[in-house]
Every structure is written in structure tokens, then in C-alpha cells.
Amino acid sequence: MTTLRAILFDLGDTLLDFEPLDTRAVFRVSAQTAYDYLRMHGYALPPFARYCRRLYASVRWHYLWAKLRGREFNSMDLLRRMVVCWENGQTEPADLLELSWLWYAPLTQHTTVEAGCADMLARLRDQGLQLGIVSNTFIPGAVLDRHLAMHGLRDFFPVRVYSSEVGYRKPNSRIFQLALRQMGVEAEQAIFVGDLVKTDIVGASRAGMRTILKQPWGPAARSRADLVIRRLSELPEAIATLYRNRVWPAEVAAVQERHEEPEPAMERG
């Protein structure tokens, strides 16, 4: 019988919910913030309109190329190359990290976390389960860690694997396997929770993990996921349902007994 030892989460629209965005408008605000920071530190920059167009085109090209290759880029490397071009020299890593944060920070104003998320994660952790994150992102890991810390979530996840840091993107099974190795657990001892079928569910399934799809809108669709939930608050009940006939850590067994019936919002995929 299988013992559940770990839960891995996607980041965007799973742990952190992003509002519908005008991406170009948000990008322009981000670019302006970074532009002002560089100007303040004496960098010789082109006019803002040209700077913004160049940065947007570069990010878009790298993003599309990363998806085609299944390999990730790190936006801090992109910024480093552009800064060196403007400065004709090197800049301190701390400057680049702060620049990366300023570039990302406007997006945090369009992000929410489900009420009670931290309490739910604390219960899962206290019941003996390891928690981790596997995320497709070109944002530097330190920047995303800072965003998680803003919501009091970072410390729940000792293992955080970002594609920008390791080069592999979901659904490549290597990014899931890396997280599992860091946790010291086998794939069959872990669940993955995510919001995208093609990357999260397919990738985690190929890696040998059980899967739960977070699908907040519309009728619950049948998918390749083992279960479907609408909100993270349904996760403990979903886990109890999924592992009804499997071995849990002793602390989790009590949760299983209290949730013999799944909520209507869930269905098997």
C-alpha cells in the first residue's frame, strides 16, 4: 500500500491567483518602474518608448522560443545583457535582483491568495506531509520567493523548483523528479496540484504522481487528473478521497476518517 508523504503545487493560478490582465499595460508599468530605477543609477538609456518596445520584443521572443524548445530562460539573464549593453560594463548582482523585483512588482497588485490558504497549508504540514512548488516561470526564483513571503506562504515550501532556475519546463518529467529527489520521496508517494492539464496534470502523471486539477470556473470537466477541485480549501477532502484505501501518516489518518464522502465540486478524472 502507498504512503502519501508529499504534495507539490503549481504556483500561478494555483497558490497565487492572478486577475485577468491587460498584459501589455502591466508590462508597460513594469518597464517604467525598471526604467526609472536604471536612470536613477546613472545608466544611459534610450527614450522610454524604444526601451519598452525592445524589452517587450525580447521577452516575447525568449518566451515563445522557450515554449517551443521545452527549455526555460531566466529574465534576469536577459536584463543583465541589456544593462551591460547600456552601461558597457558589469553591474552588481544585487542591483540586477532588485531590478528584477521592480520589474515584477506591479504584477503583485493583481494577485490574490484564497482566504484560509495558509491555515490549510499549516494543517497539511502539521499532519506530516512535505510541501513543495514546481512552477514554469521565467521570473528569477528569489523574486517569486519574495512574492510568496508577502502572503506568508514561502516558509511552507522548503522545496521550490522554478523552471527559470533549472532550465526544464513542465511537462518535462525531469523538473518533477528534481523536486521529488529534493524531498526524498518516490513519485507514487506524492500528489501534484495544478491548474493546467497540458503541463501540470500530464507532466506529473508521466512522472508517476497522482494529480489534482484546480478548476475554479465552469462545470467540473473530466480530465486526466485523478480528481478535480474548485478551490484549495477542498484539497484536504480531495486527498482523503484519493487516499481512502491507502496508507497515510498517522496524523493524517484522522482527517481521512472525517471526510468519507467527497464534496460535490469534485469528480474523478
Q: Please check the confidence at residue 177 and state whether its pLDDT lies above 50.
A: yes
Residues 126-171: tens digit of each pLDDT: 999 999 999 999 999 999 999 999 999 999 999 999 999 999 999 9
Residue 194: its H or E element = strand 190-194
**pLDDT for residue 247:** 43
Percent of the chain with pLDDT over 70: 84
Q: How far apart are CA 222 and CA 206, in angstroms?
A: 18
Res 262 pLDDT > 60: no
| Per-residue cell: 109 | 497588485
The answer on pLDDT for 267 being more than 60 is no
pLDDT band at 94 (very low <50, low <70, confident <90, very high): low
pLDDT at 89: 52
Euclidean distance between CA atoms 75 and 169, whole angstroms: 15
pLDDT tens per residue, range 112-130: 999 999 999 999 999 999 9
DSSP-assigned letter for residue 159: E
pTM attached to this predicted model: 0.86
Burial of 49 (C-beta count, 10 Å sphere; 0-12/13-18/19+): exposed
Residue 248 pLDDT > 60: no
Q: Do 207 and 22 form a contact (C-beta atoms < 8 A)?
A: no
Q: What is the pLDDT of residue 188?
A: 95
Q: How far is CA 19 from CA 16, 33, 210, in A?
A: 10, 20, 28
Q: Which long-range contacts (CB under 8 A, 24 or more apart) does 58-67 make?
A: 58/82, 59/27, 59/138, 62/138, 63/138, 66/138, 66/169, 67/169
Average pLDDT over residues 222-245: 86
- CB within 8 Å of 169: residues ≥ 6 apart: 66, 67, 70, 71, 72, 136, 163, 175, 199
> 29-33, 90-94, 95-99: which range is least confident on average?
90-94
Distance CA 148, CA 108 (A): 10
Contact 170, 199 (CB under 8 A): yes
Please give the average per-residue pLDDT across 97-123, as a whole number. Answer: 94
Task: State the helix-helix crossing angle for 75-87 and 23-40, rounded to 10 degrees.
Answer: 40
Cis peptide bond upstream of 171, omega within 30: yes
How far does Cα 157 stand from its chain's mean position? 11
Measured distance CA(236)–CA(34) in Å, rounded: 41
Q: Has residue 249 got a pLDDT over 70?
A: no
The Cα 126–Cα 119 span in angstroms is 10
Q: Average pLDDT of 188-213?
A: 96
CA-CA distance, 253 to 249, in Å (whole number)?
7
> Max alpha carbon distance in the chain (Å)?
65
| Mean pLDDT within 26-47 | 89
User: Average pLDDT over the chain, rounded to whole?
Assistant: 86
Half-sphere exposure of 26 (CA within 13 A, CB side): 14
Quick one: pLDDT at residue 95? Answer: 84
